[in-house]
Amino acid sequence: SYRCRKCSLQLAKSDDFLSGNFRGQHGKAKLFGGASNLDLDKPVERTMTTGLHVIQDVHCQQCKEYVGWKYKEAPESQKYKEGKYLLEMELL
């Protein structure tokens, strides 16, 4: 399972893992189909290498540490990301 580096709360299960070919603000990141024990920020627009996305930063529910984001809206070619979570490996 994938846990918060700061407090060890479980944030995602191995079964939720979809792809490891992603980069976050802190380096390597992984895409997950589901996650738990997260607080979501308000949606914001963010320009990424694959275009303009609407995302919500996510924080560990227990210690409030930033750990990644959830894709809310993505460009047409990136629709598969919508509703998925990008978690930063440096923070897990």
Range of the domain at 40: 2-91
The per-residue pLDDT for range 36-45, each reduced to its tens digit, is 999 999 999 9
* Average confidence (pLDDT) over 59-71: 99
Number of domains in the chain: 1
Question: Residue 71 forms beta bridges with which residues?
Answer: 55
Q: Which residues on adjacent β-strands are paired with residue 19?
A: 31
Entry pTM: 0.95
β-strands 10-12, 44-48 pairing:
unpaired
Looking at the DSSP assignment, which residues form a beta bridge with residue 87? 30, 68
CATH classification of the domain holding 83: 2.170.150.20
- The arithmetic mean of pLDDT across residues 57-82, rounded, is 98
Query: What are the tens digits of pLDDT across the range 3-14?
Result: 999 999 999 999
Do the Cβ atoms of 29 and 54 come closer than 8 Å? Answer: no
